Structure 1
Amino acid sequence: MDRQVTVMNNDIFDEASVRYANSQLLRYVADEYIKDVRRNRRSIEDFFLALKKLSNHDAKSLLYVKNFLENKSWENISFDSDDYKSLLIDYLRNHQAPLREYNDLIYYKIENHLPEDYLGWFKNDLRSSIFLASLVEGLLEREAFKGRSELIAEISDYLRYDIHMFNSYYSEYLPDYERIDFRRGEWRTVHILSVKNSYLKNRTDEKDMKWLNVSNKEQIEWAYNYLDNVKRPYIILRDIFFPDCVRDKYDLILASLDRLSNRENSDVRCLELASSFKANPKDEDTQSKGNTERGHVIKNMKKAWETLNQDSSNSKAKLVLTISDKNRKRLHALAKNAKQTPNKFINSAIEDTYNQILGSDE
């Protein structure tokens, strides 16, 4: 059966156009124009009026297709939102066969672009977006993204328009996870679904990271620097993604841990055996997770933070001074004369002397 349907002025809409319209991405054009064009009830000007009802996103995607087909996909397509529809309409108005060209753009989009429904799971999740970007990090190394909005927009557009590139590249950089989701299906959607399921089932358990407080700026900075150490280059998207706030950096830390293998590793297990005698026998789950690369890193990271905190607490403890017997007697005599305890007298004396010599620090 011929997939092409002839309409006025020798232009055509084929089944691809109808499928695209029925997907509700271009429902205004479908409902208000395509049916009437088939019945010869509308003019070419009605077509351009209908295009004004496109969403900015739909217009942008069709402009991207046009650029790609003209080998101009490198061109900057980041305009103000209102510009996309105007640019698309201008392009089609100047084309010798606008309806045919519009039909071809839609058909290419259907056959080659990732449907919007497959982007929703990470569009408001910076952590997941960072992980996805890390799978094509080599293709993004010339780029730089500041903050969550830029990074999420970039990986969304990359998957939306260049899913074929992602499909050819990601598998080499997928972590060695305990559970990998393999499936069969349509080439545009099957790989992103596999990545989604594999990632969500294997990413770092939030229970293991309760000790990391997103509201503690000092701790988040410390954790970032710990993972970004020369000896521990675990931070991903270095020189590509630049966090804009503490929350961005927190999500980057978690995404970087997500990249580490959660499969039990004999080499890591050997490292853990040395400290196994010191471990709490009730803490079997922690010991088991410590046998994975991720568990080993998290365990050492948490221990380093607790040690640092303990050292900090000790440094704030009361200062113990040694006083000779002679001066101890003098201290008690002075304190008695001032009607104060020895401890209070010493602190008062230090404060007075400090103010006389260095001046008040208030």
Structure 2
Amino acid sequence: MSRGDTPFRPRRVLVIGASYGLLPAIKIAAADHAVTVVGHPSEVALIAQHGASLDFGEGRVLRPPLGDTALSFTTPGEVDPSGYEIAFLAIQEPQARSPEIASLLKRIGGVMPIASLMNMPPPPFLDRIPSLPPAIRAGVYGAAEVWAALPAERMTLASPDPQVFRPDPARPGDLRVTLASNFKFAPFARPEDQEILAQIARDASRVEAVWGRVPVHLLAKGSVFAPLAKWPMLITGNCRCLTPDGSAMSIRDAVGRDPEQSRRIYDALCKALLAIGAPPAALVPFDAYRRAAEQLVRPSSLARALASGAREVERYDLLALGLLRETGAAPEMIEALRRISAMISERLDQNRAALQP
């Protein structure tokens, strides 16, 4: 089998996370690579029963075949790392502390390259950006000891990312895509790892259905700073979905209710990223982000989790706050982020207290 003038070599791909991870998993499987998705036993059972699909709207649905040679599912303890060439990481950072995921990450660390899709950048990836002040990480990561086992040279990260949700909890394999943007990966440090990612990206981007080319491409030629372009978006939109009364508003409303303040927060974080060496081309202008946010009519996963009583969430707000402080941002912008972080911390404290006997 060949793709153009290049002989096709199917890759053996592991995707850790059966929720958001289904998005790249289905796309990569549709490109004829063998993809195994790791999830909770209950998720795996339901997906095996009902199948998996990506719904892009307007009747555009992608359903890959299920089976050992296409898209298969397993649980963390059943993974044999020797059977895979690359892993895509699609979990929430606090999940890495669970014994099952922690054990899996330690088993694959150093064995294969890991491409993270997390909002919270894994510390090994941040190690690849020497100009990023190390002080911003203090006390931020819930699974610091787990990340320490993963080598920096085999880790990369993607940003910005598409937006999806599960319309029916009883069918966890079905995802609806609400913003079909692309995954933009920083390059791996090792050429042989980058070659695997680049091939998968090329193949997945060529996938076509009967209704046309399938959206959501994997782009593997970004700057090492490209994933940090997500930080202004996360703070301006995702974090501000949480309201003072603990409820959650949509990302569209969080950005649009006070667009000038949104612009100030967004631009302050872009300026901080430029101060540590991010090239302007790696960042997304506020106006482009605001147009994209108009399509995001659901609250962020962070706000939904906090409103639902979560006791642990990804604290990328603290990373961003530390970056502003370390790069000498204007005091009013530091205070604006401090208030955002304080609201998140207060809600976490309330959620934890509610479960106390």
Instruction: Give the alignment's TM-score, normalised by structure 2.
Output: 0.22
Q: Which has the higher helix share?
A: 1
**In terms of Rg, which structure is larger?**
1
> What TM-score comes out, normalization by structure 1 length?
0.22
More strand by share: 2
Higher RCO (CA 8 Å, separation ≥ 6 residues): 2
